[in-house]
Each structure stands twice: as structure tokens, then as C-alpha cells.
Amino acid sequence: MEIIIAFIIILIIITIMILFNSHKYNRLSSYESFDTNQTSDNCTWKCIPDENNKPIDKKIICINDPDYTNMFDSCANNKPCINIMNNCDFPLWILGTVGSPSKVLFKTTLKTKEKYQYSVTDDKIMGGRVYFFYRNPGEWLGAYAAYNAGLTINGPPIDYSQFVEMTLDKDEKGSFWDYDISYVDRAALPIYMWAPGALKDPNCNKTYTTQPASKFTDECPTTVINKTKFGNYEIGQCVASYPFCVDISPSAPYCHIFDAVSKQYKIVNPNPTALIYGGNETNPKLSTQQNIALNRGICRDINNPAECPRSEDKDKQSVWYSLNLPQNNYSKWIRQRGKNYYGFALDEGFGGGNQQCRYSTRLDIVVCPECNKD
């Protein structure tokens, strides 16, 4: 009998331990404290605390930033270059353009693990974009023949794609890159961008998302369009707040989140929330800092510049999207997937888009990157 009782006690202890650990490492919001992380492969889910240090959300970050520096060859012929690798488990149709109207710089198709290098012939790219199509444009894009012919065109549509932006210029010291992943319109694919060899500078950072492509649009707060089947999962595009509220569902409650704030600020417009999402002109005009603070949910009082935002909130990413104030929930969602990119039109400055990297000839781009395993 004593053996049976001891066995039952052991089972109870084991059950309690399992339940405790299950609670402790819940990925959503039941962490024991802000310092509690859950690691999976080479990424960790971290709590984002509210003002009382209570965990309220999840964020996916890499323990070690992705690093593909040694995966690419140096630029050929001492010319600046763009290196691209497809790390997805599906093919990509890739189009590089420059200017407006757009002129085709290059086009290629990459299968999984394949790489491509584009040498910049004139040492400059002003207003460049690279589009990564996850569906063959030849199946649906009427202007694809124009791309193949290298004609100057008004610009490719953004359907079935993710695009990045870059500018290359130079001065007497060498070449420099400005670049960003633009999730301002839609979010479809995880991307990594970096200019290896650039001078250390707080405005020059790796920008990346590492959520698996198969799960990238999970929990999209608006709607997912242009879905394409790959095996047992789909790739699609999560529509950003501004186009969602202008083109798809302007009457949705999501598209009136800022209406009360707008009324308080006496903005005169039939769709003020969409204007705030888009960073567009309002009447009266919002300052850039007011717009950023509203989108990041750190505008405590729209009529008090010292509270919209507070100086201590401005660059404190743990506070962004955590104060239960009106906010851009699409930007919050995409921000949980990586570092240093746009979630809305004016999403710049500390932790935002538009990386400025001086004196590097090389720009590396990886689609479907992974965290560094070293």
C-alpha cells in the first residue's frame, strides 16, 4: 500500500510540474515575468510589457541576427552589385526596376537555394525596387511581355509579390546604399537585407523578418489576398491598414479606430482614420511625430505635443503598441516579425525603415531568411 501511495504522490508532482511549465512557456501572454522567454530553434518569443511590466503580447526575434555575408561572392569587376538568394522552398520570379516610370534593370527566376548577382553598370540606382513574385507573372500579368522586352513601363503591380526598395549613390569616398523592406502596402514574404562592409552607424542596420513563409500571414489583422497554394500551405498578402481602409473595407470598425481622436483634434475628413494610417494630409495637419505616435499607439493626448509622444516613449520599442491606446494594429502585427522596417508610411527613425549604409558596394537580399545558427 505504501508503494502505491508513493507512486500516486509522484504522479501528482509530475502532473503539477507539467502544468506549471505549460503555463510558464505559453507563447501568447501567460509568461511568469517579462524576463521569461521561450526559445524554438534559433528564435525566441519575447514578452512585450505594459507600463506595469505585465506581459501583454509576443514578439519573434532572433537570438542571433541572420548573417548571409559569406554566402555570396564579392561584386564582380569592382562594380557595386546586388546579391539575391531564394531561401524559400518554392520558386521566385524576380524583377528589378529603377525610376518612375519604371525601367527594367534585371529579371530572373530562382529555384530554392539558387543565387543571382546583378552588377550595377552606372554606379547609381535612383528609386530602385526589386519585386519577388511567388506566382509566375506569365500566368496572370498582362504586361509581362513588356518586362521581357525591357521596356520602360509605368510600374509592375504588387499582386502576388513582396518588394524592397533601394537607392545607390556615391561621393568621393565611395558608394552608399539606402534600402528598406516595404510592408507599407502589403506583407507577403520574409526578407533579409544588409550592406556588408558598411561603416558602423546607428542608421545602418540589418533589416529582416524570419517568420516562416508558410506562417507569415498568420493572424493578419486585416485580410489576406492573392493566395497561392504550395503543398499543404498557402502564400498570400496581408493588406496594410491604409489600402485596406481605402480600397477594401472602409466601413469596417478597424477603419474607424482613430475617429474619436480625430474628432478631438477637429480633423475635417470623412475618413480620418485612413488618413492617419497613410500619413496623408489632414486638416488641420498632423505633424510627422504626431502621426508616428498615433500609429504606434503612444499618443496619450493629441492636443499636447509633450504627450504625443512623450520623449521617453519615442524610441522605447517596448512601449510601442502596449498602452491600450488607438493604434495601427497591422503595423503592430508586422513589427512582431523582425527588425528595422516600415509598417506604415512614416515609420522611420529609430527602429523604423530606410537604412542608410555608407561606403559598401554590396547589397545582399535573402528571401525566406533564417536566424543565425552560430
224-253 tens-digit pLDDT: 999 999 999 999 999 999 999 999 999 999
Q: Where are the beta strands (DSSP E) in the chain?
A: 38-40, 43-49, 55-62, 81-86, 92-98, 103-110, 115-119, 125-133, 161-171, 174-181, 186-187, 191-194, 207-209, 224-230, 233-239, 338-339, 355-358, 362-367
Q: Which of 45-49, 204-208, 345-349 has the highest mean pLDDT?
A: 204-208
pTM score, whole prediction: 0.82
Virtual torsion, Cα 362, 60, 35, 39, nearest 10 deg:
-100
Residue 157 confidence (pLDDT) = 75
Residue 154 confidence (pLDDT) = 60
214-231 burial code (b ≥16 CB/10 A, e <16) = bebbeebbbebbbebeee
The average pLDDT across 242-269 equals 95
Residue 1 confidence (pLDDT) = 62
Residue 22 confidence (pLDDT) above 60: no
Q: What percent of the chain has pLDDT over 90?
A: 57
**Range scoring the smallest mean pLDDT among 30-44, 80-94, 116-130:** 30-44
Decide if 198 contacts 366 (C-beta within 8 A).
no
Runs of H (alpha helix) within the chain:
2-24, 144-149, 241-243, 259-264, 272-278, 288-295, 311-314, 329-335
Beta carbons within 8 Å of 299's beta carbon, 6+ residues apart: 261, 290, 293, 307, 308, 309, 325, 326
Residue 77 confidence (pLDDT) = 83
Residue 5 confidence (pLDDT) = 67
Decide if 68 contacts 371 (C-beta within 8 A).
no
**Range scoring the smallest mean pLDDT among 26-35, 102-111, 190-199, 331-340:** 26-35
> If you count DSSP H runs as helices and E runs as strands, how many of each does the chain have, helices first?
8, 18
Between 287 and 145, the more confident residue is: 287
Residue 108 confidence (pLDDT) = 93
Q: Which of 26-40, 162-176, 308-322 has the highest mean pLDDT?
A: 308-322
The average pLDDT across 179-189 equals 95
Residue 333 confidence (pLDDT) above 70: yes
Write down all domains in the chain, each with its CATH number in brackets.
Answer: 69-220+352-367 (2.60.110.10), 237-338 (no CATH)
Decide if 159 contacts 186 (C-beta within 8 A).
no
Mean pLDDT of the chain: 83
Residue 142 confidence (pLDDT) = 54
Between 4 and 64, the more confident residue is: 64
Tell me the CB-side half-sphere exposure of residue 191, using CA atoms within 13 A.
30
